[in-house]
Amino acid sequence: MGNKQVKNGEEGELEEKVESREEELYRASRDGDAEAVARLLRSGADANSRNSFGSTPLIRAAERGHPEVARLLLRSGADVNRADLLGWTPLILAAEKGHPEVARLLLRSGADVDKVDPNGRTALALAAERGHPEVARLLLQWGADSSIRATGGDNGGETAEEVAAERGHYEVARAIKEVKRDGGKKAEFYYIKGVNEKEGHWQQIDRKSAMISLIYFVLSEQLLYS
């Protein structure tokens, strides 16, 4: 466990304060220290522990954009939908801060895409407000409801599309409009390995590009083995 030096009393004497495993886990998750997080989880630290604000290690990892830490916490049973005392969930914070890789991981782990904060704002609404088109498209792909109106705050009564247009985030507004034009269907995206990208990197492409890539792959395989 970590040690801290803290002042004790008026005389300023120093005493050693021992951090609990949960305090260490919270700090390591916030800082993106995956090695420390893994060690603490193995030693029995609670992945669902809360601080005085009700925040969990997963909430902090999502807010700071640390996908590897988030993955470790989720594998150890972290509640993907647990909110802090302000009503902020990991997904809402990942969307608000613009972390698509973390948001994708949370959605694949069962995050509620339309869960709202105390002002009735969804993750999509916050991605629209902050201007994060990649996160917005991802949320739409997972069926985010663009018709939900905020109930309070500066955007009270507005939908995500209206907020995006008002803030000048036209790429987000266009993505929402396209889903609405298609009758509210989920946006169709596919993932392929980038030909010249480093191993493990995936590119998000639309249906047309996916079909072209598939045809190219099949023709290449036929030429290779003919």
Architecture of domain 113-187: Alpha Horseshoe (1.25)
Query: Residue 178: its pLDDT value, please?
Result: 86
Query: Residue 223: its pLDDT value, please?
Result: 54
207 neighbors 163 (Cβ within 8 angstroms): no
Architecture of domain 1-87: Alpha Horseshoe (1.25)
226 residues of the chain, pLDDT tens digit each: 554 444 455 444 444 444 689 999 999 999 999 999 999 999 999 999 999 999 999 999 999 999 999 999 999 999 999 999 999 999 999 999 999 999 999 999 999 999 999 999 999 999 999 999 999 999 999 999 999 999 988 888 999 999 999 999 999 999 998 887 766 555 444 444 443 333 333 444 455 555 665 565 556 555 545 4
Q: What is the DSSP letter of 187?
A: P
Can you tell me the distance from the alpha carbon of 55 to that of 74, in angstroms, rounded to the nearest whole number?
15
Query: Residue 150: its pLDDT value, please?
Result: 95
Query: Residue 142: its pLDDT value, please?
Result: 94
Q: Residue 153 CA to chain centroid, in angstroms?
A: 22
Query: Residue 208: its pLDDT value, please?
Result: 52
Cβ atoms < 10 Å from Cβ of 179: 20
- Domains of the chain, residue spans: 1-87, 113-187, 191-226
SS3 45: coil
Domains 1-87 and 113-187 share a fold: yes
Can you tell me the distance from the alpha carbon of 138 to that of 113, in angstroms, rounded to the nearest whole number?
10
